[in-house]
A and B are shown apart, each in its own frame.
Chain A
Amino acid sequence: MHRLLFLPIVGAALSLGPVSSVASPEVPPQRQAELIHLLKHDCGSCHGMRLEGGLGPALKPNRLQNWSPEQLAVTILYGRPGTPMPPWRPFLTDSEAFWLAQQLKQGLQ
């Protein structure tokens, strides 16, 4: 039962769009600004406002190079059970999480 429930979630995560280095067209500019604000201030409460780490690890490109944006998007959407990393599913769409993951991979200025 549980496995059946889990499968579509993984499926959804894996069907995220292809990696692109430009800003995803699916996230309008105004929403992008909101997401950056969220990243700095709300993710920042655990990862540091400059994403250099806090209770959660630093989210700098060099630390994240072993993960694909898809994998990071899954972590963002579903969290890491057993750790303080919460699921952001209620507040983010797949493409928004993917866009955030891309920003993390690229590094914010």
Chain B
Amino acid sequence: MLRRGATGVLGTLLVWEVVARFDLLPRDALPPASSTIARAAELVVDTTFLGNVGATLWASLVGYLLALVVALPLGMLLGLSDRLYLVSSTVIELLRPLPPVGLVPLLVLVAGQGLEMKAAVVALGCVWPLLINTIHGVHATDSTARATARSFGWSRRQVAIRVVWPSAIPSVLTGVRITVSVALILCVGAEFIGGSTAGLGSWLLQQSMLPGGIESVCAGVVIAGSLGLLINGAVSALETRFAAWARREEA
């Protein structure tokens, strides 16, 4: 798995290098892989760049936590009741296609161009998949498992915490895996469109307007992609730790 991933990355870099070196694409649209990586190596110790990355990560984190704080308890509540489950599934399917980045102009008016606006975009984009996966996970809890837990003499609250929640965790983590990398993308997009003064998005925009800045832009994108990979790896580790039973059971 890891080896195949490494081969894929090396292969991509090689093709990229060849395409750029032989000018198959204009040089000012695609700098060679080697110089991009060299630039990236400079950037990861560049405090201005790191400050911008930090701003993006922070806004993404705040927005993501906001989405979790809303989605998890609400998903629990909606998933536990058959009637609310039916109603909420329909309503969410209607709300979900609203593109959060399309709401940026509106959000800029309400929340400005900084942290609050970016966090709101991230939260709006991530809350639906998280909510849907939580609702489905909670609702799909085995009815015998629930009956068993109640036969222990537990209250509905105890059953929810001790049985419904753990059995929903694999589904919740699926929601997390779908959304974490989207959170970063949404945040960068919000910075682009919303005219933020800090963050990876605004940094990329500035660089793209400098002569020869394309190398920095590509390097920045590579770094952002690597960050996304790291975060995905962390979520996979969480899934292995807390949701292995769900996958093993099917086998």
- Whether chains A and B associate is no
- Which residues of A are interface residues toward B (Cβ below 8 A)? none
- Which residues of B are interface residues toward A (Cβ below 8 A)? none
